[in-house]
């Protein structure tokens, strides 16, 4: 069967199924065959559902907007009943086994998605690449010596290869937007509390979020429609949208006030391709009728980095303890950077942790004030154009790990700290044809505005026909 996802998005293929022009079983079998072929080259999927587990997924899928569409769920922050969520770690490869779907996964199934497997992630999502010792490195379909980014790199790689139209992704510091940028996809991190993380509670002091990566803007919008909303007892919630996010993609965003930045105070100048990408995007936005000027919020990146590292370390230590349920990691059970991060987290005092969370809140006030003057802040998604495999080392010292981390998160992590929504849109390209994501930040709860703008940009400068050469 022709690879429909090379040309059609998830909503379009679901319409064919609803109109009985395509059989759901036929699509499932053809997609699984292609996924296995693609996975042999990319190593993006850690577990394929087979036999009874697959049939239960088929039976659990509803007749929603994504009826019959195969889907993979990342091995982090989301549970699928009857299987372990490994977090990319050997230590959690077999246990605990999830007793039930997480709230978001249950909603995905009701929307019609057929879960066919789990996608690869860095261990505990700590790295902005996807090269866990357990499961091995995921390769970019754009070039075999590059990483697709992370920690949602497994999901991004299969979507970029057009083996699926969209896939689940999570984001604690940029893990939806980083691989979206490196793989030429659309990826939006929702506002804090927009999508429930139940049965988890607070994740990284509220920094964690989930949605997906996709070829089309409207698929991500419809997915957010399907899984948005809090669950009883959630620590955070975002005010409901005025309408559906999918409807927002059909509306003009109006004339927006957009600030753009392409420099980082106290850091080396960005690659000229990134600067050019921002300037070209700013010019496009002006041509579309938006008010655009260069401006940036006054934020202390050094203080923010220390606070984020404190929260990450303390949560890594605590989450290992809680999830292990009395088990103690042995030699080789955790990667060096994970183990060292957890050890550092075990020594963090209450007052240091609270001060870090207060830095999150203070930064939120500062960014919030800036976003009262502007609707959108534009920048590159990353401070680099590509990510060679092995750049971010998880098998060495924390210093080496942090050295690799630094250029990946300077524009993305502030959105996690402050809870605001942000998206990466594939609007620029390197001279040798690699995608560059442009990063758009909105105020809390402004997903509708972001989706409207993204759809306008998608129409003005479409990207779907640009496909990776590795699996052409």
Q: What DSSP letter does each residue of 119-138 carry, written as one string?
A: E---GGG-SSS---TTT-PP
Helix/strand/coil for 384? coil
As a whole number of angstroms, the distance between CA 307 and CA 355 comes to 8
By annotation, the residues acting in catalysis are: 74, 151, 175
- Residue 76: phi, psi to the nearest 5? -160, 135
243 Cβ partners below 8 Å, 6+ apart? 448
C-beta separation of 213 from 71 below 8 A: no
Mean pLDDT, residues 295-308 = 95
Please say whether the dihedral angle defined by the alpha carbons of residues 24, 26, 29 and 35, taken in this order, is positive or negative: negative
Would strands 376-380 and 422-429 be described as parallel, antiparallel, or unpaired? unpaired
How many CA atoms lie less than 13 Å away from 297 in the CB half-sphere? 28
As a whole number of angstroms, the distance between CA 455 and CA 53 comes to 37
pLDDT of 205 higher than 80: yes
User: Measured in whole angstroms, how far is the alpha carbon of residue 170 from the centre of its chain?
Assistant: 5
pLDDT of 470 higher than 80: no
As a whole number of angstroms, the distance between CA 54 and CA 246 comes to 29
The share of the chain scoring above pLDDT 70, in percent, equals 99
User: How does pLDDT run across 238-282, given as a tens digit for each residue?
Assistant: 988 899 999 999 999 999 999 999 888 777 889 999 999 999 999
Would strands 209-214 and 166-171 be described as parallel, antiparallel, or unpaired? antiparallel
User: How does pLDDT run across 352-386, given as a tens digit for each residue?
Assistant: 999 999 999 999 999 999 999 999 999 999 999 99
C-beta separation of 417 from 304 below 8 A: yes
C-beta separation of 471 from 161 below 8 A: yes
As a whole number of angstroms, the distance between CA 98 and CA 447 comes to 31
* Predicted local distance difference test score (pLDDT) of residue 266: 74
User: How does pLDDT run across 159-173, given as a tens digit for each residue?
Assistant: 999 999 999 999 999
156 Cβ partners below 8 Å, 6+ apart? 148, 149, 167, 169, 179, 180, 182, 183, 185, 187, 213
The share of the chain scoring above pLDDT 90, in percent, equals 94
Please say whether the dihedral angle defined by the alpha carbons of residues 195, 197, 201 and 203, taken in this order, is positive or negative: negative
* Predicted local distance difference test score (pLDDT) of residue 10: 98
Name the residue ranges covered by the structural domains of the chain.
4-460
User: How does pLDDT run across 394-415, given as a tens digit for each residue?
Assistant: 999 999 999 999 999 999 999 9
- Residue 40: exposure state from Cβ atoms within 10 A (0-12, 13-18, ≥19): exposed
CA distances from 376 to 300, 408, 440, 449 (A): 20, 21, 6, 9
Max Cα distance, the chain (Å): 61
Q: What DSSP letter does each residue of 174-215 carry, written as one string?
A: STTHHHHHHHT-EEEEPPTTSB--TT---STTTT-EEEEEES
169 Cβ partners below 8 Å, 6+ apart? 74, 152, 155, 156, 175, 176, 179, 180, 187, 210, 211, 212, 213
Q: Count CB-CB contacts under 10 A for residue 378.
A: 24
Residue 342 DSSP one-character state: H
Question: With bands split at pLDDT 50, 70 and 90, how would you rate the model's confidence at 312?
Answer: very high
* Predicted local distance difference test score (pLDDT) of residue 390: 96
* Predicted local distance difference test score (pLDDT) of residue 308: 97
Instruction: Please provide the average confidence, as pLDDT, over all residues in the chain.
Output: 96
111 Cβ partners below 8 Å, 6+ apart? 62, 64, 65, 66, 223, 226, 227
Architecture of domain 4-460: Alpha-Beta Complex (3.90)
- Beta strands in 215-369, from DSSP E residues, in sequence order: 257-260, 291-294
CA distances from 359 to 26, 191, 205 (A): 52, 18, 11
Burial state string for 98-111 with b = 16 or more CB within 10 A and e = fewer than 16: beebbbbbbbbbbb
Q: Token match 């992370």: residue? A: 150
* Predicted local distance difference test score (pLDDT) of residue 1: 61
* Predicted local distance difference test score (pLDDT) of residue 74: 98
pLDDT of 2 higher than 90: no
User: How does pLDDT run across 313-329, given as a tens digit for each residue?
Assistant: 999 999 999 999 999 99
Residue 188's closest CA among 107, 113, 249, 105? Answer: 249
C-beta separation of 261 from 295 below 8 A: yes
User: How does pLDDT run across 409-467, given as a tens digit for each residue?
Assistant: 999 999 999 999 999 999 999 999 999 999 999 999 999 999 999 999 999 999 999 99
* Predicted local distance difference test score (pLDDT) of residue 239: 87
C-beta separation of 428 from 438 below 8 A: yes
Token pair in block for residue 148: 């697709």
């Amino acid at each position: 069967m022709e690879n429909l996802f090379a040309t059609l998005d998830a909503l379009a293929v679901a319409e064919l199924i609803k109109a009985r022009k395509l059989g759901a079983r036929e699509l499932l079998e053809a997609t699984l065959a292609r996924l296995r072929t693609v996975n042999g080259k990319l190593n993006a999927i850690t577990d394929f559902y087979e036999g009874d587990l697959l049939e239960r997924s088929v039976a659990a899928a509803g007749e929603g907007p994504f009826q019959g569409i195969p889907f993979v769920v990342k091995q982090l922050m989301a549970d699928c009943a009857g299987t372990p969520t490994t977090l990319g770690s050997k230590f959690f490869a077999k246990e605990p086994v999830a007793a039930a779907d997480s709230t978001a996964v249950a909603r995905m199934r009701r929307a019609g998605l057929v879960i066919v497997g789990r996608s690869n992630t860095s261990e505990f999502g700590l790295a902005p690449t996807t090269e866990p010792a357990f499961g091995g490195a995921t390769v970019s379909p754009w070039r075999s010596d590059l990483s697709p980014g992370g920690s949602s790199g497994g999901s991004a790689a299969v979507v970029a290869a057009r083996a699926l139209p969209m896939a689940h992704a999570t984001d604690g510091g940029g893990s939806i937007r980083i691989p979206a940028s490196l793989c030429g996809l659309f990826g939006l991190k929702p506002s804090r509390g927009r999508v429930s993380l139940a049965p988890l509670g607070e994740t990284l002091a509220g920094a964690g979020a989930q949605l997906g990566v996709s070829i089309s803007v409207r698929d991500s919008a419809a997915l957010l429609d399907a899984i948005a909303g809090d669950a009883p007892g959630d620590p955070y919630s975002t005010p409901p949208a005025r309408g559906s996010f999918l409807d927002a993609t059909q509306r003009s965003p109006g004339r927006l006030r957009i600030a753009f930045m392409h420099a980082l105070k106290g850091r080396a100048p960005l690659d000229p391709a990134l600067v050019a990408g921002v300037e070209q995007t700013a010019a496009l936005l002006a041509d579309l009728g938006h008010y655009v000027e260069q401006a940036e919020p006054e934020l202390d990146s050094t203080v923010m980095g220390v606070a984020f590292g404190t929260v990450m370390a303390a949560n890594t230590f605590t989450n290992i303890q809680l999830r292990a349920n009395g088990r103690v990691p042995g030699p080789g059970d955790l990667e060096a950077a994970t183990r060292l991060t957890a050890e550092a987290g075990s020594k963090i005092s209450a007052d240091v942790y609270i001060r870090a969370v207060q830095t999150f809140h203070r930064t939120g006030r500062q960014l919030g004030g800036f976003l009262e003057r502007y609707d959108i802040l534009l920048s590159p998604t990353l401070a680099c154009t590509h990510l060679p495999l092995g750049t971010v080392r998880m098998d060495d010292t924390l210093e080496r790990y942090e050295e690799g981390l630094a250029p990946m998160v300077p524009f993305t992590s502030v959105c996690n700290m402050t809870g605001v929504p942000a998206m990466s849109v594939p609007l620029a390209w390197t001279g040798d044809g690699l995608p560059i994501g442009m990063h758009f930040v909105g105020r809390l709860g402004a997903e509708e505005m972001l989706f409207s703008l993204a759809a306008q940009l998608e129409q003005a400068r479409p990207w779907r026909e640009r496909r990776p050469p590795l699996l052409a």
